Chains A and B, each alone.
Chain A
Amino acid sequence: MATTVDPSEIAKFEAMAAEWWDSEGKFKPLHMMNPVRLSYITQQICAEFNRILDSEAPFSGLRILDIGCGGGLLCEPMARLGATVVGVDAAERNIPVAMAHAAQSGLTIDYRHTTAEALVAAGETFDVILNMEVVEHVADPLAYLTACRQLLKPGGLHLCSTINRNPKSFVMAIVGAEYVMRWLPKGTHDWSKFITPDELFKLMTQAGLEPVDRKGYQFNPVTWGWRISDRDLSVNYVTASLAPMSAA
């Protein structure tokens, strides 16, 4: 999509991009989580598509969609690994910001202000969908996950993370992150919309996806960092699911 940007606006977008990419700034929690997120994403893609991370441009030939791309924190790494990347965000102002940063990084990424449903209508398909921290914000999760499945090529990989619903996640994600640490603006999350791993697996199955893996992201207050856990899915967790081999 050719978005014509007013040149006088570019400086403003670059400043906003700087904010997105400032690892000590407003989006610090995302930056802190990025190593584990990238570790899960790259491992899953390598396993599913037989790629080796040590090789040159390991993801070349793969078409990846990032839903809720924000400033491009996941799109840029995927593009650097050789993938063809489309980043979409429902917030229009994020698009020129992400474009400005990709230009600075010398990367080609197709950023669009659109929705999953609109992409389905346009007949687009992808090998991989990154669906990170979105599903807890949508009005109808089943309809949304169905659209995601329709966007996948047969056998395509869907990586979806969200927040569990239990007393601990309420304390950690809402009281902790929004009120105590002020990592996120108050009102970012509505706890009643959080989804348990079992509920998510069920929704994905109903949407025609085959769930294959789930892991937790565990925060370690001693090292002040995140790690992947096989068992602790009590707050943040991530899942992998596959589209059927023949179109459903």
Chain B
Amino acid sequence: MSLNSDIAIVGGGLIGPVLALACAKAGLKCVVVDAQSMDTRANAKFDGRAYALALASRRMLNALGIWQHVAEYAQNMNDIKVTDGRQGDGAAFLGLHFSSDEIEDGPMGSMLEDRYLRRTMMQMIDRHPDITHLSGTRVVAQTITAQGASLTLDDGSVVTTTLIVGADGRQSSTAARAGITRMGWDYKQTALVCAIAHEAPHNGIAHQFFMPSGPLAILPLPGNRSSIVWTEQHNLANAIHRLPDNDYLQVLRPRFGDFLGAIELCGPRHVYPLNLTIARSFTGPRVALAGDAAHGVHPIAGQGLNAGLRDVAALSEVLITAHQHGEDIASPAVLSRYAQWRSFDTAALATATDLFNRLFSNDNALLRMGRDLGMGLVNALPSARRTAIREAAGLNGDLPKLMQ
């Protein structure tokens, strides 16, 4: 079998399908290949993963007709409270408080479970006349020539294309095959992820607690439920993960106090080892990277998917414009526009996330005082607050059209 396309996308996670939908809208023919079967990807049960979608991301999903299918499962985030806490002390410290009342654009973001987004995306790319979706097939090789490129799949078939996009996640083999190396480090921390049901309503408020061992996020889901992402040193996290449910909750409870009333687990628990991995280049000959393949960041600031969606918005805009101008969409001149657009954003994000984490995962008394003062200052200065809020909502920077 041999397929022909304008863009061949390796990876049908979340980023690959959104890119295909964005490009197919302008008539570019896309092929999306994913190693996992359709069944595994589309019929997932609640796996505890939920996204804090920034306002800009939601606008983009709306413009692509995706949001309309998932809106009913989303929970508005009206408020983000950032608190510096020490175990046992609960949430008693100087708090940083961001409210959507302070920006004109409505709620700051929305919480959405991974399963709803994934399922919708699978259905949409399956139905689209300009998108071919190949499931359960792994890409094993790629070839680049002056005129085009091709992918070889594990069943021996070949996809010829103008441009290859690697949306194949943190261990992107597309990047590796293109000779693009990565940099990054291990945080020596693991995220424990679960969802809880609680007695008291969350009122659409997201909480970020900075604990000595690492951050703890409580993010509101529809109903009296919240998604918890909680970070500990590898060994401790694995030990906690092995505990039976009841003991697990015993460890969790004192970390954020009792403001949500009684809590219980709803859904399975997960662990994700945390590391930062950034591709040294986002492009190569006839290759572009997007999403985690380009930059796997610490999920502390909830920016992983949001950053990937920004890649898609920028890349699709560059490709569609080039296509409409009759340019070779995979020429170095075109791809460098994408790389340039994203480079600043990514460097800033990686540094900020890392600094944030280092600063807040430290029990040094001086650092504690410094950051408490810092948070107090941000609270006191209206313009700094607005900047921080707009940043969290994804409204700062040179925004691609899809996000405006």
Q: In the bound complex, how far is the Cα of B326 from the Cα of A54, in angstroms? A: 11
Task: Kindly report which residue of chain A lies nearest to residue B337, judged by CB atoms.
Answer: A35
What residues of A have a CB within 8 angstroms of the CB of B398 in the complex? 223
What residues of A have a CB within 8 angstroms of the CB of B106 in the complex? none
Query: Are the CB atoms of B147 and A76 closer together than 8 Å?
Result: no
Interface presence of B27 (CB below 8 A): yes
Interface presence of B38 (CB below 8 A): no
Query: Are the CB atoms of A35 and B326 closer together than 8 Å?
Result: no
Contact of A21 (CB < 8 Å), options: B147, B331, B337: B331
The SS class assigned to the B binding surface is: loop
Mark the stretch among A2-10, A78-86, A183-191, A192-200 that contacts chain B. Answer: A78-86
Interface presence of B242 (CB below 8 A): no
Query: Are the CB atoms of A106 and B327 closer together than 8 Å?
Result: no
Query: Are the CB atoms of A56 and B326 closer together than 8 Å?
Result: no
Interface presence of A42 (CB below 8 A): yes
> C-beta contact mask, B325-350 vs A, less than 8 Å → 1, else 0?
11110011100110000000000000
What residues of A have a CB within 8 angstroms of the CB of B327 in the complex? 34, 38, 77, 80
Residues from 1 to 46 in B contacting A, C-beta threshold 8 Å: 26-27
What residues of B have a CB within 8 angstroms of the CB of A91 in the complex? none
Task: Kindly report which residue of chain B lies nearest to residue A77, judged by CB atoms.
Answer: B326
Q: A104-B146, A223-B398 are known contacts. Are A53 and B324 too (CB-CB below 8 A)?
A: yes
Query: Are the CB atoms of B333 and A34 closer together than 8 Å?
Result: yes
Interface presence of A31 (CB below 8 A): yes
Query: Are the CB atoms of A35 and B147 closer together than 8 Å?
Result: no
Q: A54-B26, A54-B27, A105-B147 are known contacts. Are A42 and B324 too (CB-CB below 8 A)?
A: yes
Query: Are the CB atoms of A23 and B325 closer together than 8 Å?
Result: no
Q: In the bound complex, how far is the Cα of B325 from the Cα of A166, in angstroms? A: 32
Interface presence of A39 (CB below 8 A): yes
Q: A104-B147, A223-B398 are known contacts. Are A54 and B332 too (CB-CB below 8 A)?
A: no
B60 CB → nearest A CB, Å: 20
What residues of B have a CB within 8 angstroms of the CB of A22 in the complex? 332
Q: In the bound complex, how far is the Cα of B332 from the Cα of A39, in angstroms? A: 18
What residues of A have a CB within 8 angstroms of the CB of B328 in the complex? 76, 80, 105
Query: Are the CB atoms of B147 and A39 closer together than 8 Å?
Result: no
What residues of B have a CB within 8 angstroms of the CB of A24 in the complex? 332, 336
Residues from 71 to 121 in A contacting B, C-beta threshold 8 Å: 76-81, 104-106
Q: A23-B331, A31-B333, A104-B147 are known contacts. Are A38 and B325 too (CB-CB below 8 A)?
A: yes
Contact of A81 (CB < 8 Å), options: B27, B146, B326: B326
B363 CB → nearest A CB, Å: 42
Q: In the bound complex, how far is the Cα of B327 from the Cα of A79, in angstroms? A: 10
Q: How large is the interface on B (under 10, 10 to 19, 20 to 34, 35 or more residues)?
A: 10 to 19
Interface presence of B321 (CB below 8 A): yes
Contact of A42 (CB < 8 Å), options: B147, B326, B333, B337: B326
What residues of B have a CB within 8 angstroms of the CB of A38 in the complex? 325-327
Q: In the bound complex, how far is the Cα of B324 from the Cα of A104, in angstroms? A: 21
Query: Are the CB atoms of B27 and A76 closer together than 8 Å?
Result: no
Q: How large is the interface on A (under 10, 10 to 19, 20 to 34, 35 or more residues)?
A: 20 to 34
> C-beta contact mask, B141-170 vs A, less than 8 Å → 1, else 0?
000001100000000000000000000000
Query: Are the CB atoms of A35 and B325 closer together than 8 Å?
Result: yes
B32 CB → nearest A CB, Å: 21
A4 CB → nearest B CB, Å: 23
Q: In the bound complex, how far is the Cα of B324 from the Cα of A39, in angstroms? A: 9
Most chain B C-beta atoms within 10 Å of own C-beta, residue among A24, A77, A104, A106: A77
What residues of A have a CB within 8 angstroms of the CB of B27 in the complex? 54-56
Q: In the bound complex, how far is the Cα of B324 from the Cα of A79, in angstroms? A: 12
A159 CB → nearest B CB, Å: 14
Query: Are the CB atoms of B326 and A76 closer together than 8 Å?
Result: yes
Q: In the bound complex, how far is the Cα of B146 from the Cα of A53, in angstroms? A: 25
What residues of B have a CB within 8 angstroms of the CB of A76 in the complex? 326, 328
What residues of A have a CB within 8 angstroms of the CB of B331 in the complex? 21, 23
Query: Are the CB atoms of B326 and A79 closer together than 8 Å?
Result: yes
Residues from 9 to 45 in A contacting B, C-beta threshold 8 Å: 21-24, 31, 34-35, 38-39, 42
What residues of A have a CB within 8 angstroms of the CB of B337 in the complex? 35
A41 CB → nearest B CB, Å: 8
A104 CB → nearest B CB, Å: 5
Q: A23-B332, A23-B336 are known contacts. Are A42 and B325 too (CB-CB below 8 A)?
A: yes
What residues of A have a CB within 8 angstroms of the CB of B146 in the complex? 104-105
What residues of B have a CB within 8 angstroms of the CB of A39 in the complex? 321, 325
Q: In the bound complex, how far is the Cα of B334 from the Cα of A23, in angstroms? A: 9
Query: Are the CB atoms of B336 and A78 closer together than 8 Å?
Result: no
Task: Kindly report which residue of chain A lies nearest to residue B318, judged by CB atoms.
Answer: A35
B120 CB → nearest A CB, Å: 25
What residues of B have a CB within 8 angstroms of the CB of A35 in the complex? 321, 325, 337
Task: Kindly report which residue of chain A lies nearest to residue B333, judged by CB atoms.
Answer: A23
> C-beta contact mask, A36-65 vs B, less than 8 Å → 1, else 0?
001100100000000001111001000000
Given contacts A22-B332, A38-B326, 16 further A-B contacts (CB under 8 A): A21-B331, A23-B336, A24-B332, A34-B327, A39-B321, A42-B326, A53-B324, A59-B326, A77-B325, A77-B327, A80-B326, A80-B327, A81-B325, A104-B147, A106-B147, A223-B398
Identify 9 residue pairs between A and B in the complex whose beta-carbon atoms are under 8 Å apart, listed by A's number: A35-B325, A39-B325, A42-B325, A54-B324, A56-B27, A77-B327, A81-B326, A104-B146, A105-B328
B residues in contact (CB < 8 Å) with A: 26-27, 146-147, 321, 324-328, 331-333, 336-337, 398
A residues in contact (CB < 8 Å) with B: 21-24, 31, 34-35, 38-39, 42, 53-56, 59, 76-81, 104-106, 223
